[in-house]
């Protein structure tokens, strides 16, 4: 309920901000032109939606599989998931900003400058990833206590933290490559690779606790 209320509130407040403060300067009003040239936009939107849904379904499957082990494992997985989402926000925003700039430079035929933008994005993302990795590794015994008082869940989460910390560096590199692909309008390639890896390689087999 909190997530639903928050998401709807964010959407409503953004709409109010656009209508009352900024956002209408470039829109002269609704006309027939608004219904033309939708195919490139829909192509990117549908591809992005498929990749987004596939990624979140994969995490949902992982949560179901973890719950079949024990409540303690589910608690640890939830802590790690929330921490990873928080830590991934800055690298993701770097990727979005870089892809916008990258696409603009490619569009005005400045490939060399676009390469510089891509390198800066990789360097910045890697720096943030290393920082996140160090912080999560160093505080692995303390951060879980902000989520639960269960000593077993804290210990289990701390044991998994090194893997989660290493994921941060790999994730930052991945999202920067996604940003480059978005700038080249090749997002489908990244979505296809993501779906292939999530569902063909990394998903656990949902067997019974007794049988595994």
Please write the tens of the pLDDT for every residue from 132-154.
888 888 888 888 888 888 889 88
Asked if the structure places residue 127 within a domain, the reply is: yes
Asked if the structure places residue 21 within a domain, the reply is: no
* CA–CA distance, 183 with 167 (Å, rounded to integer): 24
Asked if the structure places residue 15 within a domain, the reply is: no
* CA–CA distance, 196 with 181 (Å, rounded to integer): 17
pLDDT score recorded for residue 208: 44
pLDDT score recorded for residue 9: 94
User: Where in the sequence is the domain holding 167, given as residue range(s)?
Assistant: 54-203
Domain count within the chain: 1
pLDDT tens sequence across 25-40? 777 777 788 788 888 7
pLDDT score recorded for residue 138: 86
CA atoms within 13 A on the CB side of 25: 4
Residue 176 has pLDDT above 60, yes or no: yes
pLDDT score recorded for residue 143: 87
Quickly list DSSP for 147-188.
T---HHHHHHHHHHHHHHHHHHHHHHHHHHHHHHHHHTT-HH
pLDDT score recorded for residue 8: 92
Asked if the structure places residue 28 within a domain, the reply is: no
Asked if the structure places residue 11 within a domain, the reply is: no
Asked if the structure places residue 180 within a domain, the reply is: yes
């Amino acid at each position: 309920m909190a997530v639903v209320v928050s998401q709807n509130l964010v959407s409503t407040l953004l709409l109010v901000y656009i209508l009352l403060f900024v956002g209408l300067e470039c829109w002269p009003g609704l006309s027939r032109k608004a219904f033309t040239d939708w195919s490139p936009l829909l192509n990117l939107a549908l591809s992005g939606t498929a990749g987004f849904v596939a990624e979140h379904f994969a995490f949902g499957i992982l949560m179901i599989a973890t719950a079949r082990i024990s409540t303690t494992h589910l608690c640890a997985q939830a802590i790690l998931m929330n921490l990873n989402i928080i830590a991934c926000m800055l690298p993701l925003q770097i990727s979005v900003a870089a892809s916008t700039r990258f696409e603009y430079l490619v569009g005005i035929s400045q490939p060399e400058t676009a390469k510089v933008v891509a390198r800066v994005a990789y360097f910045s993302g890697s720096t943030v990833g290393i920082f996140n990795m160090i912080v999560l590794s160093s505080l692995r015994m303390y951060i879980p206590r902000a989520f639960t008082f269960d000593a077993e869940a804290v210990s289990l989460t701390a044991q998994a933290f090194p893997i989660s910390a290493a994921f941060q560096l790999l994730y930052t590199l991945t999202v920067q490559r996604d940003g480059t692909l978005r700038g080249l309008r090749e997002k489908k390639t990244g979505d296809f690779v993501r779906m292939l890896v999530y569902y063909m390689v990394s998903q656990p087999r949902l067997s019974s606790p007794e049988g595994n």
